[in-house]
Amino acid sequence: LVQPVTPTEVLEAIYQLLLPIQEKDAKVMVVDDDPTVLKILTHLLQPWGVRVTCLDNPQQFWEVLKSTEPDLLLLDLEMPTFNGIELCQVVRQDPKYGDLPILVVTAHNDRQSTQKVFAAGADDMISKPIVGPELVTRVISRIERSRLRQQLDYLHQQQAAIWQQQARIDPLTQIPNRRALEEFLQQQWQQLIQEQETLCLILCDVDHFKNYNDFYGHPAGDICLKQIAKTIQECIKSSDLAARYGGEEFAIILPKTSLDGALRVAQRIQQKISQLQIPHERSKIKNYVTISMGITGKIPTPEQSFDSLIAIADEALYTAKNRGRNTYCL
Ligand code: GH3
Ligand code: MG
Ligand code: MG
Ligand code: MG
Ligand code: MG
């Protein structure tokens, strides 16, 4: 199941991203074979709160990139060994750094060079001789835009995670729903085929619940279902999974549990639900809410699917109902 994300966590992360550059230093990595240019660029950018990492030898490019994790790259076009265009191309192909803002600094501003620079995937070009204010605005606005983009990506990711999470939760009881149950069951079935361990399943059904709704009303029925779901949750281990299987039916999956162990869990659930003493005047068995259960367990085999486990538990539940309800059957 997806790890829950609280709205506070989302806001906290957005706030971190929103901090202005001056407060949360931007990092720029400059690659240029000319030490004078490195010095000039550093002096221009530093007063704006930008931390500048200089590299005069492209051979160490990846090493320095990984240790710096910059917000933006400033690449010289003409360098011995790797030139700026080659560097730009390899960065763009990298899965991690592919989106990194890249500005190419060059003395060549003829049409062909410009074309090459943009074809290599650079975001912008800065011509030499460097004009201070122009460099600063281009660098800072690129970084701000890229941070805004990161922030939006983050929001989308969070939204997707929340939707994924909600698709597996029953809105009434706030416990996993049938979709989550089937996913977990399928996954455990495969795993326990490998491990040759027992997988147990308990199906629970509230007794005479139609009568309950008819007498106490549907809203009261909803409250009753919530209480039952909560009680079942409290009776299982974190490695088990309890889900709302249907209307007033719940299912519990117990991986690596013996049938004996599952039986004890069922007994505990039955006892705890009786102890709730939810009044049920129209029950034909007791004057409070009770449940019936079908229990089954087996070592999964590749020839069968988890449906076979559900079918057997369902039959056992049917037997429990026929034996007068408020009981469990194997
Ligand atoms: P049995 O002991 O044989 O299980 O009898 P029963 O009345 O519990 O079984 P039946 O299947 O006839 O009725 C189930 C009832 O559960 C009918 C339906 O209205 C009620 N139910 C299903 N989902 C909900 C729900 O979300 N909220 C409420 N309040 N009632 C629900
Ligand atoms: Mg050069
Ligand atoms: Mg039912
Ligand atoms: Mg019922
Ligand atoms: Mg019925």
Ligand nearest to the CA of 56: 2
Q: Relative to the alpha carbon of 211, which ligand is closest? A: 1
pLDDT digits (tens, 9 = 90+) for 238-287: 999 999 999 999 999 999 999 999 999 999 999 999 999 999 999 999 99
Contact call for residues 287 and 279 (beta carbons, < 8 A): yes
Q: What is the pTM of this model?
A: 0.77
Q: Is there an atom of ligand 1 within 6 Å of 207 CB?
A: yes
Integer Cα distance of 118 and 92 in angstroms: 12
Atom nearest to 219 CA in ligand 1 = 29
Give the atom of ligand 1 at the shortest distance from the alpha carbon of 222: 29
3-state secondary structure of 327: coil
Q: Is the CB of 123 under 6 A from ligand 1?
A: no
- Find, among 327, 328, 241, 253, the residue nearest to 297 by Cα: 253
* Separation of CA 68 and ligand 2 centre (Å): 22
* C-beta 222 within 6 A of ligand 1: yes
> Is the separation of the CB atoms in 243 and 172 below 8 Å?
no
Q: Is 209 in the pocket of ligand 1 (CB under 6 A)?
A: yes
Q: What pLDDT digit, counting tens, does each position of 118-155 carry? A: 999 999 999 989 999 899 999 999 998 998 888 888 88
What is the distance in A from the centroid of ligand 4 to the CA of 204? 9
CA-to-CA distance for 296 and 311, rounded, in angstroms? 10
172, 211, 213, 328, best to mutate for ligand 1 pocket (most atoms within 8 Å of CB): 213
Closest residue to atom 21 of ligand 1, CA basis: 247
Does residue 176 line the site of ligand 1, with CB under 6 A? no
Considering every ligand atom shown, identify the ligand nearest to the alpha carbon of residue 280 and give its number: 1
Residue 314 beta carbon below 6 angstroms from any ligand 1 atom: no
Using N-to-C axis directions, what is the helix angle for 218-234 and 209-216, rounded to 10°?
Answer: 130
Per-10-residue mean pLDDT of the chain, 330 residues long, equals 63 64 77 95 92 94 96 94 93 96 92 94 93 92 89 87 93 97 98 98 98 98 98 97 98 98 98 98 97 98 96 98 98
Residue nearest to atom 20 of ligand 1 (CA): 210
Q: Which of 74, 80, 83 shows the shortest CA–CA distance to 130?
A: 74
- Nearest protein Cα to ligand 1, atom 5: 208
User: Which tokens is 13 given?
Assistant: 């992360």
Which residue CA neighbors atom 19 of ligand 1 most closely? 210
pLDDT at 1 (0 to 100): 45
Predicted confidence at residue 48, as pLDDT, reads 87
Dist CA 326 CA 286 (whole Å): 9
- 3-state SS string for 84-106: HHHHHHHHHHCCCCCCCCEEEEE
Q: Is 82 left (phi over 0), alpha (psi -120 to 50) or beta?
A: beta
